[in-house]
Amino acid sequence: MDFGLEALDRDELVAALVTALGRIEELTARVAELQDRLNRDSSNSSQPPSSDGPYRKPPPKASAMRRKSGRKPGKQHGDPGATRRQVTDPDEVIDCPPPECGNCGTDLADATVFGVSKRQVFEVAAPPPPLVTEYRVISKTCPCCGTVTVGPTPPGASGRVQWGPGMKARAVLTVMAHHLPFGRAKQLLRDLAGIDCSTGWLVNVRRRAASALEPFMAHIQQILHRARLLHVDETTARSAGKLAYLHVACDDKFTAMHVGGRGIADIDAGKILDGFTGILVRDGYGGYTHLVGAVHVWCGAHTLRDLKAVHDADPGHQQGAEAMANTLVLALKATHEARRAGLDALSEVELTEIRCRYAGAIAAMRSDNTPGSTPLQQRALTLAARFDKHRDMILAFIHDLTIPFTNNAAELEVRGAKIRQRVSGCWRTLAGLADFAVIWSYLSTAAKHGIEHLDALVRMFTDGPWLPPAPAT
């Protein structure tokens, strides 16, 4: 095969080979980058679990960041069980006597009963028709002056025909707590409750619910603004054909969500974080850096995920990333053991060991990726620089045992929006997304206080929204 090399002199041949080698290195780096992108999933990147391929399970990776818990599937030891018990007053009793002897065929219609074995079947009952209450507002004429006085109108009966609080609560429950689209929610209410409503009414009742919760939101915003520790996060949501952001601020008892963009003004629009001076557990998004009065803490789950992405791309040459992950896992284990022992802090020996391991892992990450000529090495060096610059934020959980290792509390709150979007599609209007944020804040806070979603909604439509007590200062 003739490549035309015989026509080149030695210098030209060397130059051509150097160019070819440079091109090969460039293409090799590009292939490695594309392979790295292909290997990313929810365990080693910020991609949501819903983006993982449903048809094949990724093979186990030799990574310190992905260990099995060792627990068997199913009910865990110590968890309370639930067993259906027979009732003493069944609605219907059907006797099942034997018609004849199983041995000789004698008729047993008048034979003595030897024993009875009870078998009970619990079956759903057909939905009853709606309970209709008629309020007759009576007018009377005064016998003295002739004035006509109208009787008082009961609450919830302002019009000639309307749905009651229980129906409104169930409507909001189906579209909010169970994330059903309005058409399916209409069918479900008809099939299970025997109530036939319109999809337009479902939209309107959600709007009225969000409007009724304005006092609740103002109350929660004041409580969370004074909180000692907050979890914050943001996620994307499709609304009116555009991209919007859903922001959340929460702790173990209260949740507040609002809608906006991703800028500083949008973050502060929730009326919680502007001027906040407590502990702020968050991810690495730079939009929170303007909150200079707060103590910032970096989510450990995010850092482990970033380390896993680097390590899994080249396990043989990214030992520093594995060492850093092992350091964080070791530190987390130490904090768990200290809490179980009733201690308020780690010992100085433990703190020194963790800090030394942490510094050694940073040095190893930099050594593994020098000179940083490939995209993976550059990404690893950037990660090492982040661990060096923000070590106080990343290691805050070892110095204060009340600080959690992860930001899972906030991520669990925004998961509802992802489920809603995956099941029912995007929101048609930005107002609909805003309604979702307000109502979900109410339902989440109620659940954290042990109140069932349906009970909280019935109370809201009956006497106004439930307002949780403010924590003692």
Q: Report how far apart, in Å, the C-alpha atoms of 394 and of each of 152, 248, 293, 333 are.
A: 62, 21, 18, 15
22's enclosing H/E stretch is: helix 10-38
- Integer Cα distance of 27 and 38 in angstroms: 16
Q: What is the mean pLDDT of residues 120-147?
A: 88
Identify the pLDDT of residue 160: 86
* Residue with the larger pLDDT of the pair 93 and 84: 93
Both tokens assigned to 451:
């109140």
Closest to 285 in 3D by CA, of 309, 261, 308, 269: 261
Q: What are phi and psi of 223, to 5 degrees?
A: -65, -50
Residues forming beta bridges with residue 237, ordered by sequence position: 244
Identify the pLDDT of residue 45: 61
Residue 63 has pLDDT above 50, yes or no: no
Q: What is the pLDDT of residues 258-290, one digit of tens each?
A: 999 989 999 999 999 999 999 999 998 989 999
- Integer Cα distance of 164 and 133 in angstroms: 10
Handedness of CA 314, 319, 321, 326 (dihedral sign): positive
Predicted confidence band at 43 (pLDDT cuts at 50, 70, 90)?
A: low
- Alpha helices, DSSP H only, in 107-213? 165-172, 182-193, 199-212
Strands across the sheet containing 242-250: 255-260, 242-250, 229-239, 279-282, 295-298
- Mean of per-residue pLDDT scores for the chain: 88
| Residues 406, 410, 413: CA angle, nearest 5 degrees | 135
- Integer Cα distance of 316 and 211 in angstroms: 57
Question: For helices 375-389 and 319-340, what crossing angle results, to 10°?
Answer: 30
Distance spanning both ends of the chain, measured CA to CA: 85
Q: What is the pLDDT of residues 412-462, one digit of tens each?
A: 999 989 888 888 888 989 999 999 999 999 999 999 999 999 999 999 999
Identify the pLDDT of residue 64: 45
Dihedral (C-alpha) 58, 60, 64, 66: value to the nearest 10 degrees? 60
Q: Report how far apart, in Å, the C-alpha atoms of 466 and of each of 170, 219, 449, 457, 458 are.
A: 17, 11, 11, 9, 10
- Integer Cα distance of 327 and 360 in angstroms: 10
Handedness of CA 161, 165, 166, 169 (dihedral sign): positive
DSSP state of 396: H
Closest to 219 in 3D by CA, of 395, 456, 445: 445
| CB contact set of 298 (below 8 Å; sequence gap of 6+) | 282, 283, 284, 390, 393, 394, 396
Helix (H, G, I), strand (E, B) or coil at 231: strand
Q: Are strands 229-239 and 242-250 parallel, antiparallel or unpaired?
A: antiparallel
Both tokens assigned to 56:
């094949």
- Integer Cα distance of 63 and 220 in angstroms: 42
Q: Are strands 295-298 and 279-282 parallel, antiparallel or unpaired?
A: parallel
Instruction: Name the range with the highest mean pLDDT among 45-59, 180-194, 322-336.
Output: 322-336
Residue 2 has pLDDT above 60, yes or no: no
Reported residue count of the chain is 473
- Integer Cα distance of 370 and 374 in angstroms: 10
* Residue with the larger pLDDT of the pair 122 and 50: 122
Question: For helices 319-340 and 348-368, what crossing angle results, to 10°?
Answer: 160
Identify the pLDDT of residue 62: 46
- Is 26:34 a contact under the CB 8 Å cutoff? no
- Is 213:439 a contact under the CB 8 Å cutoff? yes
Both tokens assigned to 357:
């391991």
